[in-house]
Amino acid sequence: MASFLESIKKVFTAGHKGQILGVDIGSSSIKIVLIEKVEEKVVLRNYGEIALGPRAGVSAGQSTSLPPEKVAIALRDLLKEAGITPRHTLIAIPFSASLLAVVELPDVGKKEFESMIPIEARRYIPVPITEVSLDWWVLPRRRYEEKSTVVPTDEIVKQTQKIEVIIAAIQNEVIKKYESIKRDAQISGESSHFEIEIFSTLRAVVGSDLSPILVIDMGAGSTKLALVDDGIVRGSHIISMGGQDITLALSRSRGIPFEKAEEIKCRVGMIGDEEGRDVAMVAELLLANIMNEAARFSENYEHKYGTKITKIILVGGGAQLKGLGKIVSQNFSSAVIMTGDPFSRVDTPAFLATTIKEISPNFAVAVGIALKGLEE
């Protein structure tokens, strides 16, 4: 892991027309994926990761909040080393810099409805509505609701005829910041798009399964939750704890530097001998907090809609923690727990199979945002 953070793998070639670059600027590292559609296949052309910690005066694996100029330099260095001159680039916007809310509105007809959204959004957005880019989608009813055999009276229909809408907002300042990163990183090219990272993750790891699924992205600084039902995002939540908190706790409890603690955590995880027991002792406490919050978030949804989460997909660097699956299954006993494999949607060279399998969950956002480029 540590060696990979600073390494860039050049898989094939870079930068010609049909290629799409997906960029995930995480708090601890930038991940990039270059893909191309060849006939019906999506082929991986290149990928890479660069740690931001050392550029912010902290260790690799630690969260940073670098100014955009420094992020741009890191991205430019990563692209340079990988030999990529992107033409078409998509950058994921961190969930923490955006707002997603599912709101229930009365069914007042399309025209009125459209004017209602910005007014309604105001209740959820802590900044003036003129300062955000707003997007919204009406959520279709779930299959099992449609199949319900209960015939409601006209009155009940009137009362309950609510429409669920998902509102997505990104502050204009944030978009400007990402545009400046793009410019300073010298990413020219035909076009550049942004998307909130949760949507990228879902595109990369949720297949055609229509049952209720919880996707957990454990990054360095935070853990992002997305609830997908019928293939559509129905809820999201962010927990301000992530992988670095485990490292920090281990470093404190053993009186060792962060780098050493990070190395032990990534190598042995929570299983095995003495070292594993040390990691488990600190990690279990933190993970219990994260899992409790995730369970509360899921239970709210389950109660509201009378359904049950059937699958949990783990992604992000934190998903690689050995022994994590067991802890998650203790909190979600009736769900199938799996680690997301975004590269399974991409044709990768056989000689990289082992490496890619190891790092795959880290690249969910980068692969997902690149795949968006192919859809467009």
By rule CB under 5 A, what count of residues binds Mg ion?
Answer: 2
Closest-CA residue to 85 (of 186, 193, 191): 186
By rule CB under 6 A, what count of residues binds ligand ATP?
Answer: 25
In sequence order, which ranges of the chain are alpha helices (DSSP H)? 2-5, 68-82, 110-122, 143-146, 154-160, 172-184, 197-205, 243-254, 258-268, 274-305, 324-331, 353-359, 364-375
Select from Mg ion, ligand ATP, none the partner in contact with residue 29, using the beta carbon and a kind-dependent cut-off of 5 to 8 Å.
Answer: ligand ATP
Select from ligand ATP, Mg ion, none the partner in contact with residue 287, using the beta carbon and a kind-dependent cut-off of 5 to 8 Å.
Answer: none
Residue 190, SS3 per DSSP: coil
For ligand ATP, the closer CB: 235 or 269: 269
Does the protein bind ligand ATP through residue 340 (CB under 6 A)?
A: no
* Footprint (CB under 6 A) of ligand ATP, residues 110-149: none
Select from ligand ATP, Mg ion, none the partner in contact with residue 269, using the beta carbon and a kind-dependent cut-off of 5 to 8 Å.
Answer: ligand ATP
Residues 6+ apart with CB under 8 A from 66: 52, 55, 56, 74
* Footprint (CB under 6 A) of ligand ATP, residues 159-178: none
In whole angstroms, how close is the CB of 357 to Mg ion at the nearest point?
A: 19
Does the protein bind ligand ATP through residue 243 (CB under 6 A)?
A: yes
Contact string 194-233 vs ligand ATP (x = CB under 6 A): -------------------------xxxx-----------
For ligand ATP, the closer CB: 19 or 244: 244
Q: What share of the chain is helix, strand, coil (3-state, %, to 5)?
A: 45, 25, 30
* Footprint (CB under 5 A) of Mg ion, residues 203-222: 219
* Footprint (CB under 6 A) of ligand ATP, residues 292-321: 316-318, 320-321
The size of the chain, in residues, is 376
Residue 88, SS3 per DSSP: strand
Residue 76 CA: distances (Å) to CA of 15, 85, 189, 364: 14, 10, 14, 21
In whole angstroms, how close is the CB of 24 to Mg ion at the nearest point?
A: 6
Distance CA 161, CA 104 (A): 10
Beta strands across the sheet bearing 232-239 = 232-239, 223-229, 213-218, 311-315, 336-339
Binding site for Mg ion (CB under 5 A): 26, 219
Binding site for ligand ATP (CB under 6 A): 1, 26-29, 61, 94, 219-222, 242-244, 247, 262, 265-266, 269, 316-318, 320-321, 362
